[in-house]
A and B are shown apart, each in its own frame.
Chain A
Amino acid sequence: MFKIISKTLLAPNIWEMVVENPRLALKAKAGQFLIVMPEENGERIPLTIADFDREKGTITMVIMAVGVTSRKVIALEVGQSLYAMIGPLGQASEIDTNFGTVIMVAGGVGTAPIYPIAKAFRESGVKVISVQGARNKDLLFWTDKLASVSDEHIVVTDDGSFGRKALVTEPVKEILETRGSEIGCVYTIGPAIMMKFTTLTAKPFTQQYPNLKCIASLNTIMIDGTGMCGGCRVKLGDKVKFTCVDGPEFDAFLIDWDSVMQRQRIYCEQEKCSLNRYIETLDSKQ
């Protein structure tokens, strides 16, 4: 169960891992997520589904080494197994064909989860403009893959080492300015700060285009992923929603982004302590 079938380094510290899980692969839909545990005493962390193959019975996830848990997952070799993998969780993306054209805004590792959604839109006849951003050229991955499901594919880097030197918000603004009437929805997945600014970029255009939507996929603190812990709660307008059962995608215009970012930092000290301890154990083994 949950055997690692293949493992590819996509960019420094970013790995693509294909995991055997026929039942999950059969059910997975674009936009959903899963929870993984690398080992028995490990943590449960949510990861968005990057791809799935129903025939081979596999799930693809893209994971960046950040804390102890992601590092422990990445440290698993082909043939080894995750301790647990649960899903598919959350609501699938609503592939609304009335959108006409969607802008898919992917930042950093967010390229992975945005790919299946872009693919689903394209397959259902919606025009896809993808805007893919990274800090620099080395951190870009899946550019060809994302381009293959996009009608237009714009790449930006913070330092201009590849594509255009810009933040993702710049092309988004230009597209909305020049052909906003064609755009039904701006979809954004990536670091919270990037999603926040994408939302802020799109928001003023709703005056001119009241039907314009903006959807963001959140990656929050979570334990069970089935509605039980409430750790993933997010303020959405005057309501509180659970990312695991109500999300992970929400109307980005309603998300309280500062609260989202604040909650992501709750354990930052413990995470540092845990990571240092892990690195020390690795060092002492060498």
Chain B
Amino acid sequence: MPEQDPKVRAHNFKEVPLGYTAEMAMQEASRCLNCKKPMCRTGCPVSVEIPTFLALTKEGKFAEAAQAIKKTNALPAVCGRVCPQEKQCESKCILGIKGEPVAIGRCERFVADYERENGLVTIPEKAPATGKKIAVVGSGPSGLSVAGSLILKGHDVTIFEAFHRPGGVLMYGIPEFRLPKAIVEAEVGYLQKLGVKIETNEVIGKTITVDELLNEEGFDAVYIGVGAGLPSFMGTPGEDLGGIYSANEYLTRSNLMKAYKFPECDTPIVRGGKVCVIGGGNVAMDAARTALRLGADSVTIIYRRSQDELPARGEEVHHAKEEGVEFAFLTNPVEYIGNEKGMVCQVKCQKMELGEPDASGRRRPIPVEGSEFVRDCDTVIVAVGSGANPVVTKATPGMELNKRGYINANEETGKTTKDRVWAGGDIVTGAATVILAMGAGRAAAADIDKFLMGTQE
């Protein structure tokens, strides 16, 4: 797929891949063998009808192809961009055994873009109104997926969002160059056209509680999809210095609050200079590539294990390297040193070596004694994961949590231990992917529908 030149794109926020042309999409789709037992579908957390949509794409029926995807996936333009297809649908493609699998994600992205850009988005017929009301807490991928499924079943769906704009992590977390916000707005707008109501600036657990939604506001069921939330810090001395951010804060400032447009937009961000990003996941890659675009002189990812253990998607690592992000493997920060203004100016690091595999199956990093060294830096972004956000869970008595504070929900249905309450996405699983959150949302929607319609009989 054609992409913006790495040297150019490292300085702008425009999308990196430029997308297929119609010919390219048709050609790629024509490679599909249309297997009798399409394994690709089993690799998709929301079971998209992949052979059907590829067959339509091959014939140039792009809008129809997009509609086929939307039967099970409300956000194809998003998933076509951010799903780890190489671990899901594409990993199951028969063609992948000997050569390249069909580029399912790229085709998905193309048809969804084609449908939207050409004004061909149609509103599917909804089931007759059931009179049942569902509250969805959080407008991220999981909440949008639940809402998209339940609205088609004829239910009355309201999404509550704490931020001033809907989209959750798609808005605040994933950068513009990987997922343009106009696309998120369009996908959210599609749900609104279907009849989903969205109330922004409402913090469930604070402005109104889950019990009040159920008992006073007349909702028959509640789905909690608030994401993981609390960013983890490492407790490294000096972590409170200025210029040290959690990845959540850094990305939210740049993405949602548009700090990259400061001072036209009012939210500031420390930019330029030498940037260190701590961690090796997708969020670390997003933060590193954002820092480049905010004008950093250099960006280095500091990761305590080796290249082989990097949890980020290969494509993200590849893009980051192409753009000039440097990597310091087997390295861990042990102290941050500040200047007279209280801003970070150096990070003291320690070299690591790999020992025996730990519980995660990855080799455990062990500090090398006497290997400390100091490097200069002006910004540090800590991207080492997150913990469970307590705002909703603390205010919801009767809902069981696990010992890490995540919600205990049935793996297949998302049902929590609290009557009429379901949950899914990162607040159940801990930080995972957009599509897994959507899969959880879709499964919960089916169970909620069954519950609501069952009780009616």
Whether A37 sits at the interface, judged by CB under 8 Å, is yes
What is the 8 Å Cβ interface bit string for chain A, positions 244-286, against chain B (1 contact, 0 not)?
Answer: 0100000000001001001101110011011001000000000
Whether A10 sits at the interface, judged by CB under 8 Å, is no
Shortest Cβ distance from B258 into chain A, in angstroms? 7
Whether B183 sits at the interface, judged by CB under 8 Å, is no
Whether A14 sits at the interface, judged by CB under 8 Å, is no
* B118-126, B143-151, B235-243: which lies at the interface: B235-243
Q: Is the CB of B162 within 8 A of A86?
A: yes
Query: Which residues of B225-246 are within 8 A (CB) of A?
Result: 229-231, 233, 235, 239-243, 245-246
Whether A11 sits at the interface, judged by CB under 8 Å, is no
Instruction: Give B228's nearest chain A residue, CB to CB.
Output: A228
Whether A233 sits at the interface, judged by CB under 8 Å, is yes
Select B206's contact among A68, A89, A223, A229, beta carbons within 8 Å.
Answer: A89
Whether B117 sits at the interface, judged by CB under 8 Å, is no
Select B268's contact among A37, A227, A274, beta carbons within 8 Å.
Answer: A274
Residues on the A chain within 8 Å of B389, using CB: 226-228, 245
Whether B456 sits at the interface, judged by CB under 8 Å, is no
Q: Is the CB of A263 within 8 A of B201?
A: no
Q: Is the CB of A228 within 8 A of B229?
A: yes
What is the 8 Å Cβ interface bit string for chain B, positions 423-446, against chain A (1 contact, 0 not)?
Answer: 000000000000000000000000
Residues on the A chain within 8 Å of B245, using CB: 230-231
Q: Is the CB of B207 within 8 A of A87?
A: yes
Residues on the A chain within 8 Å of B390, using CB: 227, 245
* B88-96, B247-255, B317-325: which lies at the interface: B247-255
Residues on the B chain within 8 Å of A72, using CB: 266
Q: Is the CB of B240 within 8 A of A233?
A: yes
Query: Which residues of B244-296 are within 8 A (CB) of A?
Result: 245-246, 248-249, 252-253, 257-258, 261-268, 270
Secondary structure type dominating chain B contacts: loop
Residues on the A chain within 8 Å of B240, using CB: 233-235, 240, 256, 259, 262-263
Q: Is the CB of B203 within 8 A of A230?
A: no
Whether B404 sits at the interface, judged by CB under 8 Å, is no
Shortest Cβ distance from B239 into chain A, in angstroms? 7
Shortest Cβ distance from A240 into chain B, in angstroms? 6
Q: Is the CB of A88 within 8 A of B231?
A: no
Shortest Cβ distance from B325 into chain A, in angstroms? 23
Whether B341 sits at the interface, judged by CB under 8 Å, is yes
Whether A237 sits at the interface, judged by CB under 8 Å, is no
Whether A121 sits at the interface, judged by CB under 8 Å, is no
Bound state CA distance, A252 and B242, in angstroms?
22
Shortest Cβ distance from A221 into chain B, in angstroms? 9
Whether A44 sits at the interface, judged by CB under 8 Å, is yes
Residues on the A chain within 8 Å of B163, using CB: 224
Whether A145 sits at the interface, judged by CB under 8 Å, is no
Q: Is the CB of A270 within 8 A of B262?
A: yes
Bound state CA distance, A5 and B233, in angstroms?
42
Whether A104 sits at the interface, judged by CB under 8 Å, is no
Contact A87 B164, CB 8 Å, known A42-B266, A231-B249, A263-B342: no
Whether B79 sits at the interface, judged by CB under 8 Å, is no
Bound state CA distance, A84 and B166, in angstroms?
13
Whether A83 sits at the interface, judged by CB under 8 Å, is yes
Contact A230 B246, CB 8 Å, known A84-B200, A89-B203, A240-B235: yes
Bound state CA distance, A280 and B390, in angstroms?
43
Bound state CA distance, A88 and B202, in angstroms?
10
Whether A69 sits at the interface, judged by CB under 8 Å, is yes
Tally of B interface residues using CB under 8 Å: 44
Whether A168 sits at the interface, judged by CB under 8 Å, is no
Shortest Cβ distance from A229 into chain B, in angstroms? 4
Shortest Cβ distance from A91 into chain B, in angstroms? 10
Q: Is the CB of A270 within 8 A of B257?
A: no
Bound state CA distance, A274 and B343, in angstroms?
20
Whether B208 sits at the interface, judged by CB under 8 Å, is yes
Bound state CA distance, A266 and B379, in angstroms?
12
Residues on the A chain within 8 Å of B341, using CB: 265
Whether A56 sits at the interface, judged by CB under 8 Å, is no
Select A84's contact among B201, B230, B239, B242, beta carbons within 8 Å.
Answer: B201
Residues on the B chain within 8 Å of A229, using CB: 231, 246, 248-249, 252
Contact A274 B203, CB 8 Å, known A227-B229, A230-B233: no
Residues on the B chain within 8 Å of A27, using CB: 206-208
Whether B129 sits at the interface, judged by CB under 8 Å, is no
Q: Is the CB of A223 within 8 A of B252?
A: yes
Contact A230 B248, CB 8 Å, known A24-B207, A27-B207: yes
Query: Which residues of B189-217 are within 8 A (CB) of A?
Result: 200-203, 206-208
Whether B374 sits at the interface, judged by CB under 8 Å, is no
Whether A43 sits at the interface, judged by CB under 8 Å, is yes
Instruction: Give B269's nearest chain A residue, CB to CB.
Output: A270
Whether B391 sits at the interface, judged by CB under 8 Å, is yes
* A-B contacts besides A224-B162, A230-B233, A267-B268, 7 pairs, CB < 8 Å: A23-B202, A37-B164, A223-B249, A226-B229, A226-B391, A227-B391, A231-B246
B-side residues, CB < 8 A to A, are: 162-164, 172, 200-203, 206-208, 229-231, 233, 235, 239-243, 245-246, 248-249, 252-253, 257-258, 261-268, 270, 341-343, 389-391
Ordered by A's residue number, 7 sampled pairs between the chains whose C-beta atoms are within 8 Å are A69-B266, A223-B257, A228-B229, A245-B389, A259-B240, A263-B242, A274-B268
A-side residues, CB < 8 A to B, are: 1, 23-24, 27, 37, 41-44, 68-69, 72, 83-89, 223-231, 233-235, 240, 242, 245, 256, 259, 262-263, 265-267, 270-271, 273-274, 277
Task: Identify the 9 closest CB pairs spanning chains A and B, nearest first.
Answer: A262-B342, A270-B268, A266-B242, A229-B249, A230-B246, A43-B266, A84-B164, A230-B231, A41-B265
